[in-house]
Amino acid sequence: MTSVFRDEHWIGGAFVPAGSGDRIEVENPYTEEVFGHVPAGTAEDVNLAVSAARAAFDGWASASPAERGAALSRLHRAVAARADEIARIVGLELGTPLKIAKAVQAGLPLTVLAGYAELAAQPPADEIIGNSLVVHEPAGVVGAITPWNYPLHQVVAKVGAALAAGCTVVLKPSELTPLTAYLLADAFAEADLPAGVFNMVTGTGPVVGAAIAGHPDVDLVSFTGSTVTGRAISRAAADRIAKVSLELGGKSANVVLEDADVVKAVKVGVGNAFLNSGQTCTAWTRMLVHRSHYDEAVELAAKTAAGYTVGDPFDPATRLGPLASAAQKERVRGFIERATARLVAGGLDAPVPGQGHFVAPTVFADVDPDSELAQEEIFGPVLSIIPFGDDDEAVAIANNSKYGLAGAVWGSSDRALAVARRLRTGAVDVNGGSFNPFAPFGGYKQSGIGRELGAYGLAEFQQVKAIQR
């Protein structure tokens, strides 16, 4: 296994030695071996990065749309040249199976970045409202704090949008999966963007994340992660009335109506719930099935889950890799241990490899909609199946959540669309509609504030000004 050691931050267009000699070790969750490290950044490192971003802001904000678009296109080419290495590093530091890492962990952010290169070159047009000229301007210096489960996509969704809008950025990637972000920094070095438009400081949330969230020269904080941390970031930013964009937790419902294609709905639903070992905020972890199909759906889900091969992320046969850390494994096991529903697949006694942070793909039936299994974000390969009697009851169960990030509905087109419109959630897939990386992404309720991706994501990093004439 290749070792990857990084001892510098990316600040002001160059790799800069960290202010402290402290390091954060990076573990392979399959072998449980440390194979790399990054600097444990400090508040002073953040100060340097924010100062660099502030110094670069006026020049980048005043650059023409064509210049910003061309710069992001160069960055896209530099990232694309590293696609295989990105997938490999994600496999090492997160445990995503290589096939999925290539398609999703490397492929999706490339699509998103290409989209932002186009949007940068074609910004929103000025608007005339009576005697007012309405213009869109960059929000300023952005602090971006990203999670470990999609370590490049979540970064690009923020950094690409912010740069396209004319903002400059200070990024803190997750300390669990920081090495992928260094490949992005390498791409910035190759793409030769203006110094200071993108800066990166690695470190922990309580030190580097807190320093970014509370920094007086950061105009907007964009965070993806847990709802608990989102609240803390909101409080820190509120002290100076800074704008906050949050993409937080989810407990999405997959609604299988009476007239649905049950076989397809269950197969796709299980795959969605177990994507990235269930470590996906949009995962459909609650499968709601009409009583007329319930027994069939439970049997199909259990059989499908049993077909998921668990093991080495670099083995082509593997469909489910390890969880990201020992702590995450124990957290997920705790939910399974406390569950009172009927276990139909997996569980704590199911066989898994002797090494690695594995939890077997697990399915529970007859889940109480108000129970912990149905209410809390588990963030592991655990699916809950819940029966319902009619469309109204399905909607009530689906909306019985503090979250509202994603979901799905299966049934005849008009009926499924009618149910989808009633779900209090930011995105709904009808009959297997594919993910659209240019559509707005974000949540209702405690799933967040604001939107990412596409034109709506770019708008999060802009201010709107009215000029009266």
pLDDT tens for 276-334 read 999 999 999 999 999 999 999 999 999 999 999 999 999 999 999 999 999 999 999 99
Q: Specify whether 247 is catalytic.
A: yes
pLDDT tens for 393-412 read 999 999 999 999 999 999 99
pLDDT tens for 235-250 read 999 989 999 999 999 9
User: Would you state the pLDDT for residue 118?
Assistant: 97
Record the pTM. 0.96
Tell me if residue 216 falls in helix, strand or coil: coil
Alpha-carbon gap, residue 79 to 85, rounded angstroms: 10
Judge whether residue 418 has pLDDT over 70: yes
pLDDT over 90 for what percent of the chain?
98
Q: What share of the chain is helix, strand, coil (3-state, %, to 5)?
A: 40, 20, 35
pLDDT tens for 194-230 read 999 999 999 999 999 999 999 999 999 999 999 999 9
Number of C-beta neighbours around residue 289 at 10 A = 30
List the 132-138 sheet strands across, edge first: 127-129, 132-138, 462-468
Tell me the average pLDDT across 63-81.
Answer: 98
Judge whether residue 3 has pLDDT over 90: no
Chain CA centroid to CA 75, Å: 21
Segment holding 5, helix H or strand E: strand 4-5
Judge whether residue 2 has pLDDT over 90: no
Amino acid, res. 50: V
Number of C-beta neighbours around residue 327 at 10 A = 11
Q: Of 27, 93, 175, 247, which one is the catalytic site residue? A: 247
Q: Specify whether 281 is catalytic.
A: yes
CB 291 within 8 A of CB 388: yes
Closest CA relative to residue 378, chosen from 452, 323, 417: 323
Q: Of 167, 281, 452, 460, which one is the catalytic site residue? A: 281
User: Would you state the pLDDT for residue 1?
Assistant: 61
